[in-house]
Amino acid sequence: MRINWNYLKLLALLLVISGLYAFSNHRSERKSVNGLNIEFVGDQNLYITQSMVNKLLIQNYGPLTNVPKEKLVLNTIEKVIEANEMVKSAQVYLTVNGELTSKIVQRKPIGRIEGNSKFYLDEDGKRMPFSMSHSARVPIITGKVTGKSLEDVYEILKYINKDDFLRKNVIGIHIEDVDKYQLKFRMEQFVVYLGGADNLEKKFNNFKAFYTKANKDETLEQYNVVSLEFNNQVVCTKI
């Protein structure tokens, strides 16, 4: 009987590879966490700090250092971090060196509501509580805060944040009533009557054209009210 040595060599090689893989996998599973690394992605204004995340993990899992790798459920750890009201998303993974790393994206406030209830409005239009670690420098929203007015304010804030000039200069929005919104600017004494949250691009383009000309003519200080409520025009009231 002829022996197919090539077949036996191939079979032996497969057995060796399978054994090495099983051994490596077994050793990998027996590895323990040797450190914890918390990284914040994007905005570095920390509404939740590293120490807060550490405390959150310890409360749920105890000290994670030296915990065997096979006992970690990374998806569950992610959900625990994401349950914090300051967190938008979290990615948790274990490095080759055994370091448990968490990359966290925080929620981003774009407005601060100062009404009967006080909270931030975040970039997704959702309510976000104030942070004990950092106070966001965002426009302050006052007046009659309702569901409808809050939706409109969110649309106004989104537009403001896309425009460099408006983002730097608008410091407040006052809700007089539904479809009656007033803007307060950083350096100017006048109030801008925006009207509703419709036709924002046209309204703000008209305002910037007025502002550029009045600033050039050095007449900005003469006005106390600038109204954008009427179609395709800017109506000003002098002091």
56-73 pLDDT, tens digit each: 988 988 887 777 877 888
Residue 31 pLDDT: 67
pTM, 2 dp: 0.81
Class for domain 110-238, per CATH? alpha beta
Supply the pLDDT for residue 98.
84
Q: Which residue has the higher pLDDT, 237 or 152?
A: 152
Count CB atoms within 10 A of the CB of residue 113: 22
Q: Please classify residue 69 by burial: count the beta carbons closer than 10 Å to its beta carbon, then call 0-12 exposed, 13-18 middle and 19+ buried.
A: middle
Across 30-34, 75-79, 105-109, 193-197, least confident range: 30-34
Token pair in block for residue 225: 């009210």
What is the reported pLDDT for 64? 78
Residue 201, pLDDT above cutoff 60: yes
Q: How far apart are CA 99 and CA 73, in angstroms?
A: 14
Q: Which helix (H) or strand (E) holds 66?
A: none
Residue 24 pLDDT level (bands cut at 50, 70, 90): very low
The boundaries of every CATH 3.10.20.310 domain in the chain are 32-106
Residues forming CATH 3.40.50.11690 domain(s) in the chain: 110-238
Which pLDDT score is estimated for 42?
A: 85
pLDDT of residue 151: 95
CATH architecture designation of domain 32-106:
Roll (3.10)
Question: Where is mean pLDDT largest: 67-71, 114-118, 155-159?
Answer: 155-159
Query: Which pLDDT band holds residue 12 (cuts at 50, 70, 90)?
Result: low
Higher-scoring residue by pLDDT: 10, 77? 77
Distance CA 136, CA 161 (A): 14
Compute the mean pLDDT over every residue in the chain, rounded to the nearest whole number: 86
